[in-house]
Amino acid sequence: MVKVFFAKETFFSTFIIVFILLLLRNIMPVLFPILHCEDGRDLLAYHFNSDSVLSVFQYYNGYLSLYPNFVSEVSILLFPLTVYPYVSVFFAILPAAIAYSMFSSVLYRGYIASDRHRKIICICLALVPLGNHAMFTNLMYSLWNILLVYIFILLMPNPFSRGRSFSIAIVLTAVLAIWTHPLAILGLPILLYRCVFTNSGRIYYLVMVAATIAYFFLGKTASVQIHEVNYFDAILLFLTRVIFEPFFGNSIRMWAVNEMSLIVVASSLLLFLLAFMYRQDRRTFELVSISAVFIVGIFVVSILSRGQYVLDFLNFKSGHRYFYISQYLVLFVFFNLSVPFLMKHRQNFNRNMLKAIFSVWIVLLLVQNASYFSTGKSKSDALFEFLHRYDGKSDLVLDRGVWSIKLNSSK
């Protein structure tokens, strides 16, 4: 039954298109890898210098991230150092392409029956320049797209009614995601609900619950501290970076923070539009509710845990990873509500006009955010010169300040 997921003209064809789109947007870091930040110091250097395969269970910042650790460890064993950066980029972008394509599978027909419309939604979302190059070409940051894969597994209607082999594949993927991103714990209430109220696949949900609880006790060494914050500031931040930014872009958001009333009005209108379209067709209740759990949950845990630093993210031009999943899900819900709404009222809309508006919107976002997907070739040249110089006879260091890469001698 696994072939159902890869049915012709649905998932696989969408995956190819999405993969190419993501490659093109990140063409500089793909052609000229730099092993940005953690990828050089905490993945390449750590796993290269380690003598034990148990280094796949390395903790970083207080939690275990299994996918990047495993890929790094295996890549170092199988490939030369000078090939490793390209392998790292490939396995960073792979889960992003999978996540962005999953909704096109026939398994999601329960939300939107038309395969063509789901495929269009996936491609449209791939065109939107969310995040930055690190979200797609950093192996360490691939944990965010692994989390997105997990969210789509939770969104999958009746995933365990399609045969044992497919069910096992889904569970193994879910467990990998759970043991890769600590925020997968946000899915625990959904899993518990399904254990109680669903008859199909209860044992598989129980396995996922067990994996989540096990990670909570074994997969992290630090606990999240939710500090007391000004909740008005927190609401402004949510409206600015989770609702406003994905629709209007980072540059406009940076300008608009000086006109906060504009952001509040625009974000409120967007939320009203989402609510209005939802009231027209409530068949997407499960999709909207699960997305909302992660939109709000990720924001609360990853942002409000910073206490008095909350307002810093209003004027901070970066920090993309903390908002990336929430922004994606907001747009995902928007498109899922828009398609049936537009189909229901298609006599009132000019199709060519809608295409033109969408094209202009995408171009404006791409122009605004282009700089976030570009990296310097000189940094890549320095990396590969460093990797070529390493001969194993002595320690070698590529100076990058706190992100320096040190390869120990093989003696």
Asked if residues 48 and 85 have their Cβ atoms less than 8 Å apart, the reply is: no
Per-residue pLDDT band for 51 (boundaries 50, 70, 90) equals confident
The pLDDT of residue 314 is 67
Domain locations in the chain as residue ranges:
2-218, 231-344
The pLDDT of residue 338 is 92
Stretch 180-185: mean pLDDT, rounded? 95
Which residues fall within 8 angstroms of residue 407, CB to CB, at 6 or more apart? Answer: 45, 48, 49, 81, 390, 395, 396, 397
How far apart are the C-alpha atoms of 48 and 406, rounded to whole Å?
10
The pLDDT of residue 2 is 53
Which residues fall within 8 angstroms of residue 178, CB to CB, at 6 or more apart? Answer: 150, 184, 185, 187, 208, 211, 212, 215
The pLDDT of residue 178 is 97
Stretch 30-35: mean pLDDT, rounded? 95
Per-residue pLDDT band for 8 (boundaries 50, 70, 90) equals low
Per-residue pLDDT band for 132 (boundaries 50, 70, 90) equals very high
In the predicted model, is pLDDT for residue 6 greater than 60?
Answer: no
Structure tokens at 119: 């495929």
**pLDDT top residue among 109 and 349:** 109
pLDDT in tens, 248-299: 998 898 888 888 899 999 999 999 999 999 887 777 899 999 999 999 999 9
In the predicted model, is pLDDT for residue 224 greater than 70?
Answer: no
Share the mean pLDDT of the chain.
90
Structure tokens at 243: 């609702």
Structure tokens at 73: 């460890």
What are the E-state strand segments in 239-373? Answer: none
Stretch 101-126: mean pLDDT, rounded? 93
The pLDDT of residue 388 is 95
pLDDT in tens, 11-22: 899 999 999 999
Cα–Cα distance list, 127 to 39, 124, 279 (Å): 26, 5, 28
- Prediction pTM value: 0.94
How far apart are the C-alpha atoms of 389 and 374, rounded to whole Å?
26
Structure tokens at 63: 């939690």
How far apart are the C-alpha atoms of 329 and 335, rounded to whole Å?
10
